[in-house]
Amino acid sequence: MTAIDIEKARKAAEAATAKLAEAEAIEAARQAEKTTERLERQQEKDTAFLSQWETLDAELQEVGSKSAADAVYEGADPIAAVSHFWVERAKRNAIRSHARSAYYRLHGQHPDDVFARALPERDMRIADRLEEAIYKASMRHGADLADKLAAEWLVQ
């Protein structure tokens, strides 16, 4: 290879390096723009979510507020009643966790301890919960029947 060939190869390499650097810079700018757009969209979503998370939480509270004893008293299956309570509780915790994360993304700091506080986790002790629900419902049914008997069969 001659000196002229080496010089041509060097210039071609320099041109290729410059072209690669330009392509990398364009790609980096495109990626930065995509990241900025994604962050803006996320901020919009976080703002919208934070404006309604309490409503979502309240809806789940209403759906899951009936105690298992009340549900069993009304004729529901005790296992389904206890399960429903825990499922709705888990959903509320998921909403609250998402609210805390959205707050952090928007403000760059963790919210105070009372903001969207997670509902405390408890040992489910399913057998205990079923026993409690059935016991309370049976006591209420017994009291209802006692009231009915007293009204019908006792002189008032």
**118, part of any domain:** no
pLDDT digits (tens, 9 = 90+) for 6-46: 899 999 999 999 999 999 999 999 999 999 999 999 999 99
**120, part of any domain:** no
- Residues 124-146: what's their mean pLDDT? 88
Q: pLDDT higher for 70 or 1?
A: 70
pLDDT digits (tens, 9 = 90+) for 43-68: 999 999 999 999 999 998 888 777 88
**69, part of any domain:** yes
C-alpha to C-alpha distance for 90 and 30, rounded to whole angstroms = 40
For the chain, the C-alpha Rg in angstroms (whole number) is: 32
Identify the pLDDT of residue 142. 92
Identify the pLDDT of residue 68. 81
Place of tokens 């429903």: 84
| Owning domain of residue 143 | 3-111+126-153
Number of structural domains (the chain) is 1
